[in-house]
Structure 1
Amino acid sequence: MKVLKDSISIYQLSKECPQTKDIMKNLGFEDIVKPGMLQTAGRFMTLKKGCEFKKVDYTIAKSAFNEVGIDFEEEN
């Protein structure tokens, strides 16, 4: 299991976890697969911020990444 800080950007997360785009699309983040979105908005957006913005349960999002071996550690 890989443990990452919850402050990691979606762009960085995609480098750590190749399934990021697919997982996020399945969670309701359809725009993430559009060309350039990962390189632009993904550079400053975190999973937590994205969930707040799209009104997706952060716990469900974390569980989806947990299934592929990624766990998030809360940063103080």
Structure 2
Amino acid sequence: MKRIDFKRNLKDLVEEYPEIVGIMQRLGFTEIVKPGMLNTVGRVMTIPKGAMLRGFDIEKIKNEFIKNGFEIIE
């Protein structure tokens, strides 16, 4: 099982699990595919912080990661 630590920044998570980009994009985080976004904002942004800033339901996000075979660490 893939383990994802929601305390880690998005850039590091994507380096470990590149499929996170597609999951995040499907959840509405469309900016994640913009060139340079992971190397700038992704260095300081966590998934929960991004969800809070965008007003997205963190439980929905967690459920989507679980459906995609991830175990969530908080």
- The TM-score, its normalising length taken from structure 2, stands at 0.88
Aligned residues: 74
Q: Which residue matches 1:21?
A: 21
Gaps of 5+ in 2: none
Deviations 1:9-61 (A, max 9, x none): 11111122221111111111111100000111011100000000011111111
Q: Which residue type is aligned with residue 39 of structure 1? A: N
Which piece of structure 1 moves more, 34-43 or 15-24? 15-24
Q: Which has the higher helix share?
A: 2
Aligned-CA RMSD value: 1.2
Secondary structure, aligned partner of 1:71: strand
Gaps of 5+ in 1: none
**Share of identical aligned residues, percent?**
39
- The TM-score, its normalising length taken from structure 1, stands at 0.86
